[in-house]
Amino acid sequence: MSERTGILRFFYRALQLSDSVGRCLRPARAPLAPRSFRPGLSILIPERANPALLAECLTSVQAAIRGIEEPSEVIVAVNGWPQSEYRDIARDHPCVQWIFSEPPLWFGGAVRQGLRAARYDWVYLLNNDMIVDPAAFTSLLPLRAPHVFGIASQIYFRDPGRRREETGWTVCREKDGMLEILDDIANDDSTIRGVFYPGGGASLFRRDLLARLANQTGVYAPFYWEDVEWGTCAWRLGFESLYCPFSKAWHWHRQTNRKFFPEEEIDRIAKRNRIIFHLRNGECLSSFSRFEKLLSSSDERTRSEILARPRMLAILRGRLSNSSKRFRDLPLEDTWRRLYLRPLNSPTTSANSAAPVGFARSFPDDFTDSRTKA
């Protein structure tokens, strides 16, 4: 037996053991206590090396927060880029709270840093290459509820001629024995829907739960799939995530990552993190041969990164934690198929009246009995 095969067998058995221990630790399906929240909104923008796009983003944010009748703050977490590059923007936006980190933190690290500084119970995560509609925030705030983890905005590409591969309504399906994620286009723009996971580029989150989940997802560095795990874990803990088509944002895709990585490396990291997500959250492969085949299908660099001791330990810790969650067996494909009652008059342009009148849901009774409707 080669050393690599021995490591794989140990890793596979440890994953199986994590499942067994997690099932023993899983609590009974007792209702969750309601989680109240205070008024207020924090807008958090992770930033690296894109001051020009950030300036456009902040201008749109300043217009959007004028309609908010609650206290608000804007936090920009700059990492890995000189502070001097932001003097003009800071002068033009004096109300922004700036956090500077000399080493690059990438997406997850910048989010964690910004969350520590946020004052309010709900945080809107926004990519630096996004611009938001004036009603983007006011559309989402009425949807907050004790049982809600995140609320995704509808996303368009800033290039109107590009096919909409990113919409904000995330769905999932099984492909080749693993979870595949994609953004779909809903058949109407007047229904609040479930969403598999709220994307980290333009979504509102419950700060305390997001901070807890973000602290557990450093394994995905430098980027991609962190927010997929946040959403998955939130559903399995008993929290819902929604998609609100009335809240709109426009995106320049991959503008920061392309400055530091070639397109092929970005794609490789995304594929690697899909495997990591499956090992932490998916069904355990039924045999060692299938597990070995999964890793063998990857390139040598990806295999080496996954089998590095710190990352293997992080994967095992994540699987143990996620296997023990109360609703570990919730069908993930059910999350984005849930329809919620349409707002009165079903507005398509004026989002200020987009608060829902209630939820129409199909959860098991023990999942919803204690829930307070929005």
Whether 93 has a pLDDT exceeding 80, the answer reads: yes
Average pLDDT, the chain: 87
CB 120 within 8 A of CB 73: yes
Q: Three-state DSSP class for 76? A: strand
For 150-163, what is each residue's pLDDT tens digit?
999 999 988 777 78
Whether 221 has a pLDDT exceeding 70, the answer reads: yes
- Of 310, 302, 306, 289, nearest to 5 by C-alpha is 289
What is the mean predicted confidence (pLDDT) over 306-332? 94
What is the mean predicted confidence (pLDDT) over 301-320? 96
Q: Which of 33-37, 156-160, 171-175, 367-371 has the highest mean pLDDT?
A: 171-175
Confidence class for position 253, pLDDT limits 50, 70, 90 = low
CB 222 within 8 A of CB 205: no
What is the mean predicted confidence (pLDDT) over 183-201? 94
- Tell me, what's the pLDDT at 360? 38
How many percent of the chain have pLDDT more than 90?
71
CB 68 within 8 A of CB 137: yes
Better pLDDT: 4 or 271: 271
Whether 362 has a pLDDT exceeding 60, the answer reads: no
- Tell me, what's the pLDDT at 311? 96
Q: Which residues contact 47 (CB under 8 A, 6 or more apart)?
A: 54, 76, 77, 78, 79, 81, 110, 128
Whether 342 has a pLDDT exceeding 80, the answer reads: no
Q: Cis bond leading into 222, ω under 30°? A: yes
Confidence class for position 316, pLDDT limits 50, 70, 90 = very high
As a dihedral over the C-alpha atoms of residue 251, residue 150, residue 165, residue 179, rounded to 10 degrees, the angle is 140
Confidence class for position 294, pLDDT limits 50, 70, 90 = confident
Whether 179 has a pLDDT exceeding 50, the answer reads: yes
Question: How far apart, in whole angstroms, are the C-alpha atoms of residue 202 and residue 192?
Answer: 16
From 3.90.550.10, 3.20.10.10, 3.30.70.100, 3.40.50.2000, which CATH number describes the 41-260+327-368 domain? 3.90.550.10
Largest Cα separation within the chain, whole Å, is 67
Please state the domain extents for the chain. Answer: 41-260+327-368
Whether 358 has a pLDDT exceeding 70, the answer reads: no
CB 342 within 8 A of CB 303: no
How many percent of the chain have pLDDT more than 70?
88
C-beta atoms surrounding 115 within 10 Å = 22
Q: Give the chain's length.
A: 374
- Tell me, what's the pLDDT at 1? 58
- Tell me, what's the pLDDT at 255? 66
Whether 356 has a pLDDT exceeding 50, the answer reads: no
The DSSP call for residue 356 is: -
Give the CA distances from residue 318 to residues 70, 289, 327, in Å, rounded to whole numbers and listed in that order: 36, 23, 15
- Tell me, what's the pLDDT at 176? 80
Better pLDDT: 368 or 2: 2
The DSSP call for residue 154 is: E
The DSSP call for residue 71 is: -
Alpha carbon distance, N-terminus to C-terminus of the chain: 58
- Of 242, 216, 249, 243, nearest to 230 by C-alpha is 216
9 residue type, one letter = R
**Phi, psi angles (nearest 5°) of residue 224:** 85, 135
Distance of CA 26 to the CA centre of its chain: 24
144 residue type, one letter = R
Better pLDDT: 28 or 237: 237
Question: How far apart, in whole angstroms, are the C-alpha atoms of residue 106 and residue 292?
Answer: 30
**Using alpha carbons only, what angle is made at residue 79 by residues 76 and 82, rounded to the nearest 5 degrees?**
100
86-95, 157-166, 228-237: range with lowest mean pLDDT: 157-166
Give the CA distances from residue 337 to residues 171, 179, 194, 242, 347, in Å, rounded to whole numbers and listed in that order: 8, 16, 6, 11, 21
Confidence class for position 75, pLDDT limits 50, 70, 90 = very high
